[in-house]
Amino acid sequence: MSLQTTVIQVTVDNTPPGVRIQYPSADAQISLTENKKINLATEVSDGLGIRQVEWLIDGRRIGLQENPPYNLEWIASRGEHQLVIRATDLAGNTTESEVIQFSVK
């Protein structure tokens, strides 16, 4: 009779990714350019990796990215807006950024 030992390494990730909106800042007043495009930016971090980053303005998804850098060009409309970033890591943990209120003039 022989005894064999096998080791299996298991990684458990219960920590959601970190999300910080870099642009625009809270309560920013942005002047609309002639081409109506605004470059949005966020920083997303996770120990094992990011599956996707969703961009939501006024509750509507305007973009989805699977690879960094996490910047998005948005064709803006005048008025008051809310930006939220939702990030999902490779383990399926999801987190949302704080809600950023900003206006486009």
The answer to whether residue 43 is domain-embedded is yes
Instruction: Find the CATH number of the domain harbouring 75.
Output: 2.60.40.10
**Whether the predicted pLDDT of 33 surpasses 90:** no
Q: Report residue 6's pLDDT band, with 50, 70 and 90 as the boundaries.
A: confident
> Within a domain: residue 7?
no
> What Å distances lie between residue 99 and 15, 35, 57, 60, CA to CA?
21, 26, 10, 13
pTM for the whole structure: 0.86
Query: Judging by beta carbons within 10 Å of its beta carbon (0-12, 13-18, 19+), is residue 33 exposed, middle or buried?
Result: exposed
As for how many domains the chain has, the answer is 1
Q: Is the peptide bond before 16 cis (omega within 30 degrees of 0)?
A: no
pLDDT, tens digit (0-9, with 9 covering 90-100), for 12-25: 788 999 999 999 99
Its domain, for residue 53, covers 18-104
| Type of residue found at 66 | E
